Amino acid sequence: MFVRTENFRTFIRLYPIVSFIIGAHILLFIAVNLSPYVLQLTVGFNYYIGVGEYWRLITPIFIHQSFPHLLFNTFSLYLFGPALERILGKFKFVIGYIGAGVIANVATFLLEGPGYSHIGASGAIFGLFGFFVYIIYARKELMDQQNSQLILTILVLSVVMTFVMPNINILGHLFGLVGGAALAPILLTGTKRRV
């Protein structure tokens, strides 16, 4: 389920949404590092959101400034996104991924001060974990026990790292997780595919 054996072309054909988001991460990483204006326009800066720049609730989901940040989030999407894209289908995957990221960013806006700013796909990535947690406990038929244990182990490590690593949007991680778990029962309605 989480072991990737596809070649480049097959991966893009099987998981077009995950592939598109990975491509967006890379292109926007280059753009942000070539032009400070791109970062200024897309960062999730609470003050600007508060004065009506609501696109900043979405754009941080795709923006990374440092290479390690890009690598961690993009590799997490590469590992865990395809299974969920297969379970949900393309349209519902987009809604779930962006929806969890927006929930994380809205929580950050509401609970952090006006001077707070953030970037990164971590809220949306934690949203994927939220979906998997819901599947593990409420839709067991969609995932086998071995993969369930793997997800729970990685989730525990990721939550611990959230509180240990510096410069982490803790609220974004936690509310991304909650957002994914909250969207899961809605978007998984009628889903019977097991991966």
Note the pLDDT tens digit of each residue in 124-134. 999 999 999 99
Percentage with pLDDT > 70 across the chain = 98
User: What is the dihedral sign for C-alpha 114, 119, 124, 130?
Assistant: negative
**What's the mean pLDDT in 76-102?**
96
What does the pLDDT read at residue 1? 67
Give the mean pLDDT of the chain: 94
From the candidates 19, 117, 122, 148, give the one annotated as an active-site residue: 122
Confidence at 19, pLDDT banded by 50, 70, 90: very high
From the candidates 64, 69, 118, 173, give the one annotated as an active-site residue: 173
Q: Check if 122 is active-site.
A: yes
CA distances from 127 to 34, 37, 173 (A): 29, 28, 8
pLDDT in tens, 170-185: 999 999 999 999 999 9
Question: In this structure, which amino acid lies at residue 150?
Answer: L
pLDDT at 41 over 90: yes
List of domains in the chain: 8-187 (1.20.1540.10)
pTM: 0.93
Question: What are the tokens at 14?
Answer: 């099987």
DSSP the chain: -------HHHHHHH-HHHHHHHHHHHHHHHHHHH-HHHHHHHSEEHHHHHTT-GGGGTGGGG---SHHHHHHHHHHHHHHHHHHHHHH-HHHHHHHHHHHHHHHHHHHHHHS-TT-EE--SHHHHHHHHHHHHHHHHH-GGGS-HHHHHHHHHHHHHHHHHHHHSSS--HHHHHHHHHHHHHHHHHHTTT-----
Phi (first) and psi of residue 45, to 5 degrees:
-95, 115
Phi (first) and psi of residue 112, to 5 degrees:
-105, 165
Residues 6+ apart with CB under 8 A from 192: 141
pLDDT at 194 over 60: no
